[in-house]
A and B are shown apart, each in its own frame.
Chain A
Amino acid sequence: MPDSTGRILWRRFPVLGGVARGIRRGTVFWGIGSFLFFMLYFFHVRRQIDLRFLYHAGNFALPSGTVIDFPIYRYGSEFLKGFLVRPGGLSEYVASGLCQYYYYSYLGPLVVTSVALLMYFLSHCLIRIYGGRGGGVLRFVPPVLLLIACNRYTFVLHNHVALVAALVGSVIYLFVAARTSRALVGFIVFAVTCVIVYCMAGGSYMLLAILCVSFELLTRRRYLLGGLYVLIALLVPLGGAWFFGIAFDDAYVRPSGLFPFDGTLGVTVLWGLYVFFVLAAVAPLIRCATGWLARVSGAFRPSGKLQAACTAAVLVAASVLSALLTVDRDVRRLLKANYLARMERWGELLEDVRRHRSQGYTPSVMLDINRALFETGQLGSRMFSYPQHPSVLFEIGSHAVDYKGGCEVLLRLGRINEAEHAALEAVEINGERPETLRSLAVIYIVKDQVDTARVFLTMLSKDPIAGEWARETLRRLEDDPRMSSDEQIRYLRSVMPLRDMIVTSTRSTESMVGTMNTREMLLLALLVRNRKNRMAFEYLMAHYLLTKQPGKIACSLRRLDDFDYPAVPDHYGEAVLMYAYNVRRQVKPAGSAIRACTRRKVRKVIAIVGDCKGDKDAISKALDAEFPDSYCRYLLTDKSGGSR
């Protein structure tokens, strides 16, 4: 296997040599098998999980109440310092940095696969040191558990980096201890490793303590030394609590990710990983297990090839099952929608949602759907083919996610101050996320507060992904502080309101643009400022549709002339005809005409209502069957999103 250079390397670094020998002693089958396993692992993470969804999720609240809190990373010592003030901070820092690679379709999966490979490698070493023969299929347990955690999208890498740090510390100690009988050397290495690993990995350090203590007690049977190790293991977190100024109970368990145990699969899997390594430390048990396996396999007397095939089959089955069965498809669907919206791939977003429209969507995704409908010119005609709710147009409320999405929509509409409000609230709740900082920079440039914009841009320039954009914008600001040549800035200035008014008053957590009147006023003021603001017009009409004010649609139809609509959009036409029917008055839209098919549809709906004689269930059923995507159905039954 290794050439002469390799041999020299192994000789110089006995750890690597031991590992290489360990791998070499395995058959070629294991080598190829492992390679294939990790190749498939990589492609599964890339294709099925797609870590870009996590990167763009930022701070994403799931319907279950869990919040995906994707870590932030900044270049510079100031950011690092924030992590050094607590045990385990360093592993968090490293994990935060690694997580930024999730932005890239290949590098993110490569990071996760590398962590899995590292765990595979460390479990191999541990099992060997404890007297096993490298663990065979057992080595694949940690990567598979890691994959399950990935599949759940609640994957916080820092817990796993801390675990890896503890394992590396353990392997270093065990390797030294296995090669020396001098207790003093072992003691010094243990004490030093404990302190370093505790600072790096926090509560995860207890795994190191357990592995080392069990090694001394069970394998080496040095009870006095083992007892001393227990004492040190207990004292180190106490020292950490004093040094870092944290609570004593926190010093032992946090931030390992094991507590509080909330029963979710992510935490259970993490527990599984810890339990696996603790079990691995119990060498006699492993030996018994391997002996039992040998006896079992001996009873069957399988040939070498059959044994290898059986093991491979078990491995493949376990991996495939865990890969396929544990993917949280609901979360994936939501995160994918969110990702497509952040990438402004509106057509794909609508297509994806249409495929799963019978599923539930969070308000923030519904907000993105409406944005996608607008961007693709379908808001007035296809809105009720998708799930809708009266407060999902640009609602920003007490919920974290709504602020981010709300900010984007408000900014695009031209409501600069409200977008600023939403973005600053988002910073307070979700932290200094790149997309929010970017929005804030744009907002302050539009408002001609260049000095303020610079603060946000300077902060953003330290972001590994968005930093380039920030640096470029800072350069452009040097040349032209108003950035008048920028198309987006020019557009926003052309639609932003110029006349001040009190938008809303708020007491504590009250929603900002919560009241119907406020939303309507915000949009009308935009149209007063710039009558060609198509988004403001369509959102105003959508607001009327969602809040069931068809009369106001009729009242606003004259504004259609400001835009190049070939005909009155279907939903507006339906609303006008339904209103006219209700008040028994004829309403003539100025300029554009209501399509004949819309008229027929409304006539038929009116006939259905007449036939059903007020029976709401019957009306609902009939409309579900005949006009699942119509506004009439929403108006009469509150239902939207096509047939269910």
Chain B
Amino acid sequence: MNNLYLGLAIALAVTASSPRAAGQQPAAPATVGGCPAEPLAFHNCALEKAKTFQPPRTATGKPNLQGYYRNRLAQAFSVEGVSGSEPLVNDRIMPWTLAPPMIVDPPDRKIPYQPWAAPIGRIGENYSKYLDPRTACGSGGVPRLALQDPNQILQPSTDDYVLWLFEDHHVHRVISMNGRPPLGDAIKMTNGDSRGRWEGNTLVIDVTNLNGYTWFDDSGNFYTNAAHLVERLTLIDPDTIHYEVTVEDRQGYTRA
């Protein structure tokens, strides 16, 4: 395997009903779902918890992921994290917040860009020359929607689809669970084509047919239209989903 993948892990926690000023971000918690809030520590702890936690079930016996969620670990600025040496931390209008990387693999916790791609994605050309695709009412794409948007998971009783609705612009994902054939390669979409399956208690979603126009974060980190994403959603307690996405992109990334 000479194409590199990138693993991102976050926690999708049930939205608390405690009153909060509109638009205010929840304060970074010390622990989420009984695991440390630092993404890599959370990821390892969540993998352990998932081995023993028995999730609630739907009427048809599937793990019941339904509910309203929002991410509790990620920040919007950069999936590679924000360090004190980043000048934007001192931005006078919108200072970035110090944050650990959300990337859990590779071990250096950086996106393994090919040489041409790094100067575009890593607070590079995308950030300095182009508008964030979201500003023109575009969809955040995958996985940015899950990283940044309040969302709702619905599992219709027929088990042939899982619906993932996002607050932003009526954006929704229809995840086919009935093994339908993939789309032809020529059809490229902002949110791609999602086909899901259950592996034990984990909802595994293959995402293909991506148009490569979306970013991971506000700083312009990206994948190309050759990317293939595998998302894994696992409940680790009644209110917390461990969300992991592996990004393969032969065109944009390389195994170091």
A and B from one assembly? no
Q: Which residues of B come within 8 Å of A, CB atoms?
A: none
Residues of A at the B interface (CB closer than 8 Å) are: none
